[in-house]
């Protein structure tokens, strides 16, 4: 499987997990509890882990920097999808969500959508590097199973 396919598949999983989690929070009336949004990190960690593991097992790529970059790229693309989802959500479904963000203790007041997007992009890039680095501490010694057949 190609590296780009692994990256986009797992970025889609990150995005899907975050969207489902967000809508479950909304259905339960917990969308105003900003602390729960930190659980998005779990979905990023899950997607990056799956991408690195898939790259090792499917492409037999044991190089540290290659897998590290696959992890970062997966997370950055996933964050990009999530930012696009937020743009669509705030733009078309619930423009009042900006008020919910302003009322949270995490964001503060006088928010604009570009400011939120910038903050999410910076946070997303930081979490990309962090998740990838942490997971690569495990995978740096992990070797793909050999598919050689002894006759």
Rg of the chain in Å (alpha carbons): 18
Q: Are 85 and 12 in contact (CB under 8 A)?
A: no
Reported as a single tens digit per residue, the pLDDT across 76-103 is 999 999 999 999 998 888 888 777 777 7
Measured from the Cβ of residue 114, the count of other Cβ atoms closer than 10 Å reads 8
Reported as a single tens digit per residue, the pLDDT across 97-130 is 777 777 765 666 777 888 889 988 998 899 889 9
Going by pLDDT thresholds of 50, 70 and 90, the confidence category of residue 51 is very high
Question: What DSSP element (H or E) covers 7?
Answer: helix 3-27
Structure tokens of 42? 């779990």
Domain definitions of the chain by residue range:
3-139
Provide DSSP, 105-122: TTT-SS--HHHHHHHHHH
């Amino acid at each position: 499987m190609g590296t780009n396919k692994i990256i986009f598949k797992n970025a889609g999983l990150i995005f899907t997990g975050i969207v489902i989690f967000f809508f479950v929070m909304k259905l339960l009336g917990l969308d105003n509890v900003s602390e729960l949004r930190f659980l998005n990190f779990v979905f990023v960690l899950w997607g990056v882990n799956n991408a690195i593991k898939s790259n090792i097992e499917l492409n037999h790529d044991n190089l540290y920097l290659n897998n590290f970059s696959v992890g970062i790229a997966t997370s950055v693309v996933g964050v990009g999808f999530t930012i696009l989802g937020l743009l669509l959500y705030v733009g078309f479904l619930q423009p009042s969500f900006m008020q919910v963000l302003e009322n949270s203790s995490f964001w503060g007041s006088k928010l604009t959508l570009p400011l939120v997007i910038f903050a999410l992009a910076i946070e997303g890039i930081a979490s990309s590097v962090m998740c990838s680095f942490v997971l690569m501490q495990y995978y740096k010694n992990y070797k793909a199973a050999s598919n050689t057949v002894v006759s």
